[in-house]
Structure 1
Amino acid sequence: MRCFKLLIMSSVSLFILIQTALGCDIVLKEKATVNSNNITIKEIASRYPANLKDIVIAPAPFANNSITLTKAFISFTLKQKGIKATVCGSKTVKISAETITLKASDIQRIIGKNLTIVSHLPILLPAGSYKFKVVSVSHSTKFTFYTIQAIKNGKFQRTINITALREQTTRLIPVAKRDIEVGQIITASDITFAKLSGIAPNTFTNKSYIVNRIATNFIPKGSTFSTANTRRFKPVKMGDLVSVEVVAGRIRITTVAKALKGGYKGDIIPIMYLSSKKIMPAVITGKKQVIVQ
């Protein structure tokens, strides 16, 4: 008799559950995964009216994260949207974001180079079909920095920053042929070339830029030349007595004048003749030498 009563009670409970489920518009799952930017009814419910399948309930969690929505929250959200629907099923729904994983091989394929990547990998993105675009590349002495845009369904999703070891390529660079003392004017005979890689940004790579510069530090044999260890040679300083070559047709006259301004080779400066005090423009041609044409 007791077993018969239990059987009747179980049957009644099952009947009530079935009737409740049949009377529900939306039956919630316990767990769900999403692969878009939003959580919709079709992803969190096992049964729902067709016209409600794309109703957005909340933003999707970030890649490799999850959120939990309660039945009360879902019911309230639908009510706020003016939707009359009964909700049953699980009291809570745990929603995880589907992801895709970008490994080193994927980054190399996107950039188009076989790189030694130092950025933390893998990178997780919400699942979907992406296009990737390298939008900028910059360098330091040791590293190369890539900025990549992830585009999904034609819309920008996020920026991915990648740091990789800089590719070391060798090139012929001017170096000191011998030890050069501080204050020495560097000549062409002081310079030779060597194959180097990973040179500093302020290093001179053209021999013509180095000739006639002055060493501001001791430069050992084999060292590169840069703005850090050399400065421009100033052949004429303000107040110098300069040798003036005056050219008038085929006539050339040499005299002496006072420089009223300093400058570098090729600069035009004012000079004053000592005898007449007349001021004229002159072009610097060498150490304390100018020409007037």
Structure 2
Amino acid sequence: MPAADGSRRSVPVPAVSQLYPPVNGISLRRAVEITGPFITLGDLFHGLPGKNEAVVARAPYPGEQSVLNARWLEQAVRAHGIEWRPNSSLAQVVVTRPGETVPLSVIEEALKAPLVALGAPERMTIELTSSRTPLSVAPGAEFRIRVSGETYDPQTRRFSAVLEVPAGAPDARRVQVSGRFSDTRDIPVLARRLGRGHVIRIEDIDFVSMKVETLPSGVITDVSDLLGKEPRNVVREGEPVRRSELLRPEVVRRNAVVTMELSMPGLNVTAKGRALESGADGDVIRVMNLASRQVVNATVVDPSRVIVAPPSSAAAAPARSPDADRASDPAVDPSRVDSGP
């Protein structure tokens, strides 16, 4: 049969157990499910002599129900010239309207554009703090939301607005909401668990959106600060990475045999040496000349080569502070350390 809003719906004839005993041939339904925005006499009664399509009330909001008591029902049917009395003062009809709850993510997305227009940041996380009223639409309907009356305080980062769902519908629900927002940022994280000895590459990196205000101190926020680094220990996937958890990858390993190069005007000298400590590219480490047993400072160039500074600059070169895990060899006699080549 056609509904009051122009759509068509099917109202099945209920079983006897769902009806109160008839009065004057008219039976009252105990419960009914409404799909449209209005309740008609035909929704409430079985066996009416016509006027089934007469609208008597608005239907509940989607996802809710209402109870029509005996007094209200008697007045509603008599207003349309039909003689009927309930056979009990306890008679009632439970009217239910099915609904689908609007996801919180859809509500937050609808709020973002109006708040950004008021000056809120484009990247933010919204937290609703006031409304406990769920917003629902008819099953299968679009989640159309209209936002109005929005306010925004940049100091407290709080906002308020009125939501209309479904937007433009004759039975739309309007709900006042308020909340607060936080700035968010995409933070680089490891896509899988990595440990010592693995140089981080672009394929090892993923991103997660996080509130800026909740980021721990020292967390890396620029992907370039992850690339080419090595975990100091095991770093778990999906979690922010602190700078203290990373190392520059070792190029020269401790005790490795390397070529020592010394260049001066008119003089190029090479010698074999042993690295007394590990070092990354560009680190200054101590290297012992295997022939003279002298220990000098040298700059790491590649896994097999270091550059020894000329005597005048080597003496002035600041001592490197290696990481705790790249300690010097305690077997070297400090009295034999020389700043010359």
**Structure in which a larger fraction of residues adopt strand:** 1
Per the normalisation by structure 2, the TM-score is 0.34
Per the normalisation by structure 1, the TM-score is 0.38
